[in-house]
Chain A
Amino acid sequence: MFLRTALLVLRKDFAIEIKSYEILSTTLFFAVGCVLVFAFALVKEGQAPPDSAAAILWIALLFSGTLALGRTFERERYGETIRALLLAPAPRPALYVGKLLGILCLLGLTEVLLVPLIALLFSAPLLERLALLLPLLACGTIGFAAVGTLFAAMLMRARTRDVMLPILLYPITIPVIIAGVRGTSALLATPPDEPTTIMWLTILLCFDVVFVTLSLWTFEPLMTE
């Protein structure tokens, strides 16, 4: 029942998205725009400061993820369909999981675009180090999305939801950023510092476990008035 509901919600979001690809295309383009802004700000005489590739990757993800979160829940606000979802005879945390999976797919696609782009623009050996980069990106994205999905859901009814989401989300996901950026730049060093990356990966994994659990636990009391 739980998994079935989550997958139904995911499939429904796909069905909506493939009609216009609105959220996907605008998120992708925004992410690219982000990377370019940072590139123009940082590149001096054709060279970016060392480690900037790692930083830009995670920052672009953070910003585009925040926007995407706001907009996927905006869909549930129109027509107040969130009420209908909460009224369904399924455990309510399943709705959270369904939404989380949707965000993860969206951010995953963004990463598919960003990683090669950043590797190209900053001559960073990201694509050669995929074996560790992928788990690092996965765990970091899950951590960010877990907290982000919960906050975006609970802010749906708030008046100032657009600006409140980053205000609440960024301080709490700073550990994810630190771990992600430090882990990625350790990976990009020559030779790649794999033990450090694995250490940061472990920290991200713990973060994921704690915060997904906490979100599942608090979702229902937060969504009922």
Chain B
Amino acid sequence: MDFDSVRLTDVSRHFGRRRALSKLSLTLNAGDIVGLLGPNGAGKSTLIGVLATLVTASSGDVRYGQRTAREGGSGLRQRIGLLAHELHLYAELTARQNIAFFASLYGADADNPDRFEKAIDAALERAGLTDRAGDQVLSFSRGMRQRLGLERALLHHPRLVLLDEPFTGLDDRSVGTVSMRLRELAAGGAIVLLATHDLDLADGLVTRVALMRDGRLLSDEPAATGLRARYRSLVGGT
């Protein structure tokens, strides 16, 4: 089950009287790095939840290629990778154990154990944590956990990569490595959606910009220079 575009049509989601998403229509294509920008409470996390099939829309249609989430079933989830704010790591396990668990969950250990170990080593190296592989995640700083969480999300080479604030806590060098990684992913045909507050970081990285406020999509356009000014003019605020 694979797809090369994700289309949202008039997607709405409300919780009682509170609108989280309001008639949102958006198409994401392979090779895009879409920056999802907006103030707090705009609905970015809900949108990511809907795209990850963890939140069902109250109305509207979400299609991965031609199929909906229900039709895609568990095969669809093989092609989705998520890194949310909470990072999805088991604090009591070591970095290696975390990666190994999620790798097995995604079926990586089905073949031979040698390749499995190599894949885990590679992931740890990309996260820059090879020397801390045997330490519990409890002892890691926010930045280290962020790097590990990102590798965990990308282990299974997902087609749709959803990132909620992936740069929090990262130092300059890590930001550079992660940005390069995302560019490589997009170049390889992945659909990358990243929600962020950091306009400067987003500026050089994203190929398209989707601005949200109050659950609505204000604009969806190719990235151009002057992101901050554009953001201010559409979203307002300081």
Contact = CB atoms under 8 A, between A and B. Distances in A.
Direct contact of A and B (CB under 8 A): yes
Interface of A: 1, 5, 8, 12, 15-16, 19-20, 75, 78-81, 83-92, 224-225
Nearest to B92: A16
A88 B106 contact: yes
A73 to B, nearest CB: 13
B75 A89 contact: yes
Nearest to A77: B86
Nearest to A86: B54
A224 B86 CA distance: 17
19 contacts: A12-B93, A80-B88, A81-B88, A81-B90, A83-B86, A84-B152, A87-B52, A87-B53, A87-B54, A87-B77, A87-B82, A88-B102, A88-B105, A89-B76, A89-B106, A224-B53, A224-B55, A225-B54, A225-B56
Main secondary structure of the interface of A (DSSP, over half): helix
A5 B75 CA distance: 14
Nearest to B74: A89
B67 to A, nearest CB: 15
A81 B89 contact: yes
A16 B89 CA distance: 12
B55 to A, nearest CB: 4
Contacts of A19: 92-93, 136
Nearest to B75: A89
A203 B173 CA distance: 64
B49 interface: yes
A171 to B, nearest CB: 27
B88 A89 contact: no
Interface string B4-19: 0000000000000000
When A and B form their complex, which 9 residue pairs have the shortest distance between CB atoms, in order from nearest? A80-B86, A84-B88, A89-B78, A89-B77, A225-B55, A88-B105, A89-B74, A16-B92, A12-B101
B86 A79 contact: yes
Interface in B63-90: 74-78, 80, 82, 84, 86-90
B104 interface: yes
A203 to B, nearest CB: 36
B97 interface: yes
A88 B92 CA distance: 20
Nearest to B69: A224
Interface string B34-63: 000000000000000100111110000000
B93 A224 contact: no
Nearest to A94: B74
A224 B54 CA distance: 5
Nearest to B77: A89
A85 B78 CA distance: 12
B107 interface: yes
A16 B49 contact: no
B97 to A, nearest CB: 6
B234 interface: no
Contacts of B104: 8
A188 B53 CA distance: 52
Contacts of A16: 90, 92-93
Contacts of B55: 224-225
B218 interface: no
- In this complex, which of A12, A15, A84, A224 has the most chain B Cβ atoms within 10 angstroms of its Cβ? A84
A19 B90 CA distance: 12
A224 B97 CA distance: 27
B14 to A, nearest CB: 12
B90 A12 contact: yes
Given A83-B54, A88-B102, A89-B75, 8 more contacts: A5-B105, A12-B90, A16-B93, A75-B90, A85-B105, A87-B53, A89-B74, A90-B105
A8 B101 contact: yes
- In this complex, which of A81, A88, A89 has the most chain B Cβ atoms within 10 angstroms of its Cβ? A89
Given A20-B92, A79-B89, A225 B49 contact: yes
A15 B93 CA distance: 7
A101 to B, nearest CB: 16
Nearest to B49: A225
A5 B105 CA distance: 7
